[in-house]
Amino acid sequence: MSFGEFLLDNLTQFWQLTGFANAQFGNFVMLAVGLFFIWLAIKKNFEPMLLVPIGFGILIGNVPFNATAGLEIGIYEEGSVLNILYNGVSRGWYPPLIFLGIGAMTDFSALIANPKLMLIGAAAQFGIFGAYMVALAIGFAPDQAGAIAIIGGADGPTAIFLSSKLAPNLMGAIAVSAYSYMALVPVIQPPLMRLFTTKKERLIKMKPARAVSQNEKIIFPIVGMLLTCFVVPSGLPLLGMLFFGNLLRECGVTSRLAKTASNALTDIVTILLGMTVGASTQASQFLTPQTIFIFFLGFMAFVIASSSGVLFVKLFNLVLPKDKKINPLIGNAGVSAVPMSARISNNLGLEYDPSNYLLMHAMGPNVAGVIGSAVAAGVLLGFLA
Amino acid sequence: MKKVISTIAAALLISGAASTALAQSRSGLRINEVMVSNQSSIVDDYGQKHAWIELFNSNFSPLEISSVFLTNDSTQPRLYPVPLGDVNTEIPKRQHVVFFADGEPNKGTFHTSFTLVPGQDNWIGIYDADGVTLIDEVTIPAELGPDQTWARTSDGFGEWAVRDGIGTGYITPSSANVIKDTNKKIENFAELDENGFGMTVMAMCIVFTALLVLCLSFYSIGKIGSAVSRMNKMRAHGVDKEEKATVKHDSGEEIAAIIMALHEHLNTHDAESTILTINKVKRAYSPWSSKIYGLREVPGSHRAK
């Protein structure tokens, strides 16, 4: 072999390893999706904390490379750096850490002051099981249907946790679908809220919530964890961490831990979770007819969840005394997209009455939705795992 | 003194919990299937057929068994200690290992120092590392024939039954006694709850129950809390029970009105003296904060001076 041939041979081999030589149409489609997510986050400000890591993760995961070269760079190649980071998703330990942070960030006062709002959080979970029925009708197996339906909980970590257990092969599509619709909550929910409410109902003014004592705030995470986990032990990883984070926040003697859990830890896990979920959407795994169905079902789940929350409040109002009626505009907040859906309730309430601030009332069902979706995930896991 | 007592109590609790956790994991070890007369079943690493004992780790975590004892004599619980230092003695979760009861422990880790005798009852026990705690035991009936096993009907649990390799009575050394090719739960849901209505009703009932229980609990806790704070308030005001109707919670509006009135009355924020005072702040020197230790001396800068 001459020196020239040697150089040519090496350059040919190098060319075989480049993205240009291995690119397929699907890669470009996914790169476009990744760029679209980043555009949505930066230009439209749709959940930027989630969509930027996911969008960039999609770019990382869809740079074409020679998978047969054994370079250990792909997210699905055991031992690669991305694969190690992806372990938190595939083994389901990122979501409980996110829940720890959510617990440490969340003030449950609105819920403690008005415990009946918890039932709205429960009613909104009908979105999950409505979508489960539709998924079965389309032809998904019960475990896959359960994993897809959890998108209706509007809770990304819960969706990842459950799909990693019930349908790991669909996890990428489910996670991206869940986060996409969470980002689109301001687009999806308001028309439904207007559709199912009358002008008179939108003007209902709710009484200000009573002040909640420190003792009640401390008792809540302890009793909440024990009661919900005794009913649904399979929800323990999510509910346990959620209430633990909240106890750190409320007990008053672990402010440093609560601060770390709600800031640094949550940020770190969000970055890793978003990026690896995005990177897991490799074109070969993601661009399948199933993904289209999953996105459709996710949308259905969101619509059913938001509608059922609003309709449940209307139903509930029938049995409530006149001075204790609930504004149905807070029903959408039963899905656990915290605090986005509560903010939408508030904005819509202000649109019809500039003095009607619903934010604190909507935070009740909103955080109940977090608990409800974790319970629902536990139920599905218990039945189908 | 109180501190010492509470520290000792905490230490005892922690050690108790740790020993319970250890005991729980050890207690997950099970005798799962036994063959006394091996005519045509598996062979060992030396190509020989012996009686074998299958152990099963029923835990959902790996189990290290290197310190447990296997025996066929209840008066000698320490008959065969599973040797230390073999990586294969860690049984993965819900997996099996097979020991050959050939009486030749010098052949390797998985060869016991005792044998099983066909035609008579054979008792086998597993003792924990202390040689006292019996983890599991089984008596294999004398009627067990050649190439038959005495096996659990379900891995780690269930009744014992004879298996002869015919039909569903398959012999499964080193693998599950019940071969699952499908997930029964999911199959049942697919078959009996085709449209998902059953799941929806059950799951929604559970979700509602969980949150309703929580709701009722906090309704009660809130009531108790309000009553306690009212009592405290009455006590603070020196009000007796007859007058309690007059003692109310201060509403948010009342508190806001009081604050506004105080603000108006005191008006402390808007009238500033407009005198600026600069005080020198003295800080105690500490080498930890000294920049000198973090900088490299640059010769050129000395010359410039």
Asked if residue B216 and residue B175 are part of one domain, the reply reads no
* Structural tokens at position B289: 């904060």
| CB nearest to A119's CB, from B197, B211, B217 | B211
CB A227 within 8 A of CB A378: no
Interface test with A, best of B187, B192, B215, B218 (most A CBs within 10 A): B218
Tell me if B212 and A122 make a contact (CB, 8 A cut-off): yes
Same domain, yes or no: B65 and B159: yes
Please give the residue that has the higher pLDDT: either B229 or A247. A247
Contacts of A115 in chain B (CB under 8 A): 214-219, 222
Whether residues B52 and B105 share a domain: the answer is yes
Q: Which of B185, B190, B225 sits opposite A215 (nearest CB)?
A: B225
Q: What is the rounded average pLDDT for all residues in chain B?
A: 81
Closest CA of chain B from A336, distance in Å: 14
B283: in domain: no
User: In sequence order, what are the beta bridge partners of B97?
Assistant: B55
Cβ-Cβ contacts under 8 Å for A379 (sequence gap 6 or more): A232, A234, A235, B202, B203, B206, B207
Which sign, positive or negative, has the C-alpha torsion A290, A293, A298, A304? negative
Confidence (pLDDT) at B255: 80
Q: Which of A113, A115, A143 sits opposite B215 (nearest CB)?
A: A115
Does some domain include residue B34? yes
On whether the CB atoms of residues B69 and B82 are closer than 8 A, the answer is: yes
Region B259-271: mean pLDDT is 73
Inside any domain, residue B45: yes
Confirm whether B187 is domain-assigned.
no
Distance (Å, whole) CA A220 – CA A227:
10
- Using an 8 Å Cβ cutoff, are A284 and A75 in contact? no
Say if CB A120 and CB A146 are below 8 A apart: no
B163 and B215 both lie in a single domain: no
A chain contacts of residue B229, beta-carbon cutoff 8 Å: 213
- Looking at residue A44, what DSSP letter applies? S
Kindly list the distances between the CA atom of residue A262 and the CA atoms of A90, A217, A339, in Å, as whole numbers in the listed order. Answer: 23, 17, 15
Considering only CB atoms, B206 lies closest to which of A113, A220, A379, namely A379
Mutating which of A210, A218, A297, A326 best tests the B interface, going by the most B Cβ atoms within 10 A? A210
Q: What is the DSSP letter of A207?
A: P
All residues of chain B having their beta carbon less than 8 Å from the beta carbon of residue A141 are 186, 190
Q: pLDDT for A15-50, tens place per residue?
A: 988 999 988 899 999 999 999 999 999 998 888 888
A219 → closest Cβ in B203, B221, B229: B221
Residues B152 and B33 in one domain: yes
Nearest CA in chain A to B188: A142
| 3-state SS assignment for residue B28 | coil
Residue with tokens 């960030």: A105
CB count, 10 Å around CB of B89?
A: 18
CB-based burial, A295-325: b 16+ in 10 Å, e otherwise? bbbbbbbbbbbbbbbbbbbeebbeeeeeeeb
Number of CB pairs, chain A paired with chain B, less than 8 A apart? 126
Q: What are phi and psi of A13, to 5 degrees?
A: -65, -40
Express each pLDDT in A48-59 by its tens digit: 888 899 999 999
* Residue A212 binned pLDDT confidence (cut-offs 50, 70, 90): confident
Q: What percent of chain A has pLDDT over 90?
A: 58
Residue B298 lies in a domain: no
Domain presence at residue B58 = yes
Mean of all residue pLDDT scores within chain A: 90
Nearest to A176 by CA among A195, A160, A158: A160
How far apart CA A298 and CA A128 sit, in angstroms, is: 9
Q: pLDDT by residue (tens digit) across B56-96? A: 999 888 999 998 999 999 899 999 999 998 899 999 998 99
What is the chain B residue with the closest CA to A137? B195
Mean pLDDT of B141-170: 87
In this structure, the answer to whether residues B151 and B223 fall within a common structural domain is no
What order do you get walking across the sheet with B80-81 strand by strand? Answer: B80-81, B69-71, B122-127, B134-140
Query: Is B153 found in the same domain as B40?
Result: yes
B232 within some domain = yes
Q: Do A143 and B183 touch (CB under 8 A)?
A: yes
Indicate yes or no: CB of B196 within 8 angstroms of CB of A379: no
Q: What is the pLDDT of residue B8?
A: 58
Do B202 and A145 make contact, defined as CB atoms within 8 angstroms? Answer: no
- List pLDDT tens digits, range A222-277: 999 999 899 888 889 999 999 999 999 999 999 999 999 999 999 999 999 999 99
Q: Are residues B73 and B149 in the same domain?
A: yes
Give the model confidence (pLDDT) of A118-129 as tens digits. 999 999 999 999
Predicted pLDDT of residue B140: 93
Last residue of a domain, one of B129, B150, B181: B181
Under the banding of pLDDT at 50, 70 and 90, the label for residue B186 is confident
- Does residue A72 surpass a pLDDT of 90? no
Name the minimum distance, in Å, from the CA of A81 to any CA of chain B.
25
What's the CA gap between A127 and B191, in Å, rounded?
Answer: 23
pLDDT at A330 over 70: yes
Grouping H, G, I as helix, E, B as strand and the rest as coil, residue A280 is coil
In a domain, B281, yes or no: no
Tell me: pLDDT of A91 over 90. Answer: no
Contact yes or no for A223 and B217 at CB 8 A: yes
Same domain for B248 and B154? no
Q: Are residues B51 and B157 in the same domain?
A: yes
Q: Strands B90-91, B96-101: parallel, antiparallel or unpaired by DSSP?
A: unpaired
Neighbours of B257 (CB within 10 A): 12
CA-atom Rg of chain A in angstroms = 23
How far is the alpha carbon of B198 from chain A, nearest alpha carbon, in Å? 10
DSSP B33-102: EEESS-SSS---TTS---EEEEEEE-SSS-EE-TT-EEES-TT-TTSEEPPSS-GGGEEPTT-EEEEEEB
Q: pLDDT by residue (tens digit) across A57-69?
A: 999 999 998 888 8
pLDDT of residue A240: 94
> What are the chain A neighbours of B199 within 8 Å (beta carbons)?
129, 132, 142, 146, 383
Q: State the smallest CA–CA distance between residue B226 and chain A in angstroms.
A: 9
Give the distance from residue B240's alpha carbon to the nearest chain A alpha carbon, in angstroms.
24
- B106 and B220 housed in the same domain: no
Cα–Cα distance for residue pair A358/A349, rounded to 1 Å: 6
Partner-chain contact B190 A141, CB within 8 Å: yes
**Contact list, B207 vs chain A (CB under 8 Å):** 122, 125, 372, 375-376, 379
What is the total count of domains within chain B? 2
Instruction: Quickly tell me which residue has 């792909």 as its tokens.
Output: A74
3-state SS assignment for residue A150: helix
Domain of residue B133: give its range.
29-181
Q: Which residues of B touch A165 (CB under 8 A)?
A: none
Q: Are residues B177 and B65 in the same domain?
A: yes
Which residues in chain A are closer than 8 Å to B226, comparing Cβ atoms?
Answer: 210
Given a contact cutoff of 8 angstroms between Cβ atoms, the answer to whether B64 and B45 are in contact is no
Interchain pair B219, A116: CB under 8 A: yes
Greatest Cα-to-Cα distance within chain A, rounded to the nearest angstrom: 94
